[in-house]
């Protein structure tokens, strides 16, 4: 990785060098990703899967090669198990909608106490009842309680591999094993794991896996739902339109094969190609190396932040036990998270504040919101020093 790969990182904010620590919200894009998009629009652009002409074939090839790149990146068996979506949110909505239409809409879905709203609301919208795996004060999921949540109505277990708030890595292997012992499939929300650690869906044996392109150095507006072929095959289509059909008449329509049955309409083919370029870029660096680097940043950040008086890091036990880096969420007694975030911003430091789209977790923590610093492959210890010094400065201002 070369610092110049990410042009935005050399800009300043309020006259100060940008310290970008909001990577869980979205990562910055390497030059190669942006250039791939520009190049495709300038030189290749044509709709995919539709034209016999040269450009359409070329765009289709890039799009399908991208599917294969995603397949390899997450260790899926078949490229037909890779469905392109707009992001994790759409991936979960797709599954919730399709599952509800095979008669599961009155069933139960087990989620964890630390889920993002996009792994809560789609189930509610589609008629499912949620049962929740409780969490300890230290951020660990209660696996004994999880085992008690299964009933004859349990249709799915759906949990984040890494919390977008606490940064903890959940024991998904154990969760998947237990769910399968109960004959229940599992969706893993990989929005915060795929960008930060090696992922192998086959080894993990999850039934579904979702992630977003923009959090993994790719463009916005593209994401992935992986599903085992045996799980996707019985599901009805998600949306109707072009691409997802075999034959259409006014009285009857037959549907396309996997994965196209779930991809109605013109896909974001420039986005899928650029996503593949992003995945190639980070694969070249190595997901193990990225994981080691970010884990060391997270530990360093925890070490620095916990020395600041009146500062609480949430989910600290589980975060420190995790073999991966992750977002660090904290508050300082007597300072509102929004004030802290705003003053840090004035120092050129971008962090996120608020409930992080995880209101039930905020209720569990007994807070309205937190300040969150989240790291990526390009962050450095020096930037964490800037963050810690910035927090200390704000703390002094508040007395
Ligand atoms: N979390 C954050 O700042 P989309 O918006 O579809 O790309 O991703 C949704 C999503 C799903 N699951 C988890 C665990 C997530 O962290 C997110 C997105 C961002 O934490 C934006 S709220």
CA dist 320 and 299 (Å) reads 7
Helices within 138-219 (DSSP H only):
143-147, 172-181, 201-204
Indicate if ligand 1 lies below 6 Å from the C-beta of 361: no
Of 32, 98, 206, 357, the catalytic one is: 357
Ligand 1 probe mutation, 117, 166, 187, 191, most atoms within 8 A of CB: 191
Ligand 1 atom closest to Cα of residue 91: 6
Indicate if ligand 1 lies below 6 Å from the C-beta of 353: no
Q: How far is the CA of 5 from the centre of ligand 1 (A)?
A: 24
CA dist 264 and 48 (Å) reads 12
CA dist 100 and 258 (Å) reads 19
Of 20, 139, 15, which is closest to residue 386 (Cα–Cα)? Answer: 20
Ligand 1 atom closest to Cα of residue 86: 6
Q: How far is the CA of 73 from the centre of ligand 1 (A)?
A: 20
Ligand 1 probe mutation, 162, 164, 222, most atoms within 8 A of CB: 164
Q: How far is the CA of 58 from the centre of ligand 1 (A)?
A: 32
Ligand 1 probe mutation, 192, 268, 362, 374, most atoms within 8 A of CB: 192
The count of C-alpha atoms lying within 13 angstroms of the C-alpha of 371, restricted to the half-sphere facing its C-beta, is 28
Q: How far is the CA of 180 from the centre of ligand 1 (A)?
A: 26
Q: How far is the CA of 50 from the centre of ligand 1 (A)?
A: 33
* DSSP conformation letters of 65-86: HHHHHHHHHHT-S-GGGEEEES
Q: Exposed (0-12), middle (13-18) or buried (19+): which is 265, by Cβ within 10 Å?
A: exposed
Ligand 1 atom closest to Cα of residue 115: 14
pLDDT at 227: 98
The DSSP element (H or E) to which 136 belongs, if any, is none
Helices within the chain (DSSP H only):
31-43, 54-74, 88-99, 121-125, 143-147, 172-181, 201-204, 229-232, 269-285, 287-305, 316-321, 337-346, 359-365, 381-397
pLDDT at 325: 87
Indicate if ligand 1 lies below 6 Å from the C-beta of 352: yes
Residues 6+ apart with CB under 8 A from 149: 110, 131, 132, 133
Q: How far is CA 141 from CA 35, 117, 132, 155, 160, in A?
A: 42, 18, 10, 20, 11
Block residue for tokens 């010094």: 389
Which residue, by CA, sits nearest to atom 1 of ligand 1?
25
pLDDT at 312: 98
Is 357 catalytic? The answer is yes
Indicate if ligand 1 lies below 6 Å from the C-beta of 118: yes
Torsion region of 295: left, alpha or beta (phi above 0 gives left; psi -120 to 50 gives alpha)? alpha
Q: How far is the CA of 289 from the centre of ligand 1 (A)?
A: 24
pLDDT at 198: 98
Indicate if ligand 1 lies below 6 Å from the C-beta of 27: no
pLDDT at 361: 98
| Three-point CA angle 281, 207, 25, nearest 5° | 45
Model's pTM, two decimal places? 0.98
Ligand 1 atom closest to Cα of residue 88: 6
Which residue, by CA, sits nearest to atom 19 of ligand 1?
25
**pLDDT tens digits in sequence order for the chain, 399 residues long:** 677 899 999 999 999 999 999 999 999 999 999 999 999 999 999 999 978 999 999 999 999 999 999 999 999 999 999 999 999 999 999 999 999 999 766 899 999 999 999 999 999 999 999 999 999 999 999 999 999 999 999 999 999 999 999 999 999 999 999 999 999 999 999 999 999 999 999 999 999 999 999 999 999 999 999 999 999 999 999 999 999 999 999 999 999 999 999 999 999 999 999 999 999 999 999 999 999 999 999 999 999 999 999 999 999 999 999 988 899 999 999 999 999 999 999 999 999 999 999 999 999 999 999 999 999 999 999 999 999 999 999 999 997
Coil, strand, or helix at residue 325?
coil
Torsion region of 75: left, alpha or beta (phi above 0 gives left; psi -120 to 50 gives alpha)? left
Residues 6+ apart with CB under 8 A from 6: 28, 29, 30, 31, 378
Indicate if ligand 1 lies below 6 Å from the C-beta of 88: yes
Indicate if ligand 1 lies below 6 Å from the C-beta of 160: yes
Indicate if ligand 1 lies below 6 Å from the C-beta of 89: yes
CA dist 218 and 215 (Å) reads 7
Indicate if ligand 1 lies below 6 Å from the C-beta of 25: yes
pLDDT at 323: 84
Indicate if ligand 1 lies below 6 Å from the C-beta of 166: no
pLDDT at 267: 97
Indicate if ligand 1 lies below 6 Å from the C-beta of 357: yes
* DSSP conformation letters of 266-313: ---HHHHHHHHHHHHHHHHH-HHHHHHHHHHHHHHHHHHHTTSTTEEE
């Amino acid at each position: 990785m070369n610092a110049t790969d990410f042009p935005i990182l050399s800009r300043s904010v309020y006259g100060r060098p940008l310290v970008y620590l909001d990577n869980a919200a979205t990562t910055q894009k390497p030059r190669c990703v942006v250039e791939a998009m520009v190049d495709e629009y300038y030189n290749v652009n044509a709709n995919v899967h539709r034209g016999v002409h040269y450009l359409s074939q070329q765009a289709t090839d890039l799009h399908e090669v991208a599917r294969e790149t995603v397949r390899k990146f997450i260790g899926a068996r078949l490229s037909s198990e890779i469905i392109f979506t707009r992001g994790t949110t759409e991936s979960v909505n797709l599954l919730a909608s399709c599952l509800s239409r095979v008669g599961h809409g009155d069933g139960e879905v087990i989620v964890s106490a630390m889920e993002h709203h996009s792994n809560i609301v789609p189930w509610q919208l589609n008629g499912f009842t949620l049962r929740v795996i409780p969490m300890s004060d230290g951020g660990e999921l209660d696996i004994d309680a999880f085992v008690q949540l299964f009933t004859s109505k349990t249709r799915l277990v759906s949990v984040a591999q890494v919390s977008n708030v606490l940064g903890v890595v959940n024991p998904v292997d154990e969760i998947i094993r237990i769910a399968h012992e109960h004959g229940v499939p599992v969706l893993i929300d990989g929005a915060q794991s795929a960008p930060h650690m090696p992922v192998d869906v086959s080894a993990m044996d999850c039934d579904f896996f979702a992630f977003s392109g923009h959090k993994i150095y790719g463009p916005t507006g593209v994401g992935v739902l992986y599903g085992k072929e045996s799980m996707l095959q019985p599901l009805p289509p998600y949306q109707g339109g072009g691409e997802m059909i075999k034959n259409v008449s006014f009285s009857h329509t037959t549907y396309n094969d996997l994965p196209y049955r779930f991809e109605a309409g013109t896909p974001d083919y420039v986005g899928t190609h650029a996503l593949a370029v992003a995945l190639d870029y980070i694969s070249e660096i190595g997901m193990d190396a990225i994981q080691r680097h970010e884990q060391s940043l997270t530990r360093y950040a925890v070490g620095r932040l916990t020395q600041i008086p009146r500062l609480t890091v949430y989910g600290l036990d589980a975060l420190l036990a995790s073999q991966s880096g992750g977002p660090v969420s904290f508050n300082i007694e007597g300072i509102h998270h929004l004030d802290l975030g705003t003053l840090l911003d004035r120092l050129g430091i971008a962090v996120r504040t608020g409930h992080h789209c995880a209101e039930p977790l905020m209720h569990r923590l007994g807070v309205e919101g937190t300040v969150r610093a989240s790291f990526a492959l390009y962050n450095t210890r020096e930037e964490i020093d800037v963050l810690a010094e910035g927090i200390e400065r704000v703390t002094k201002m508040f007395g």
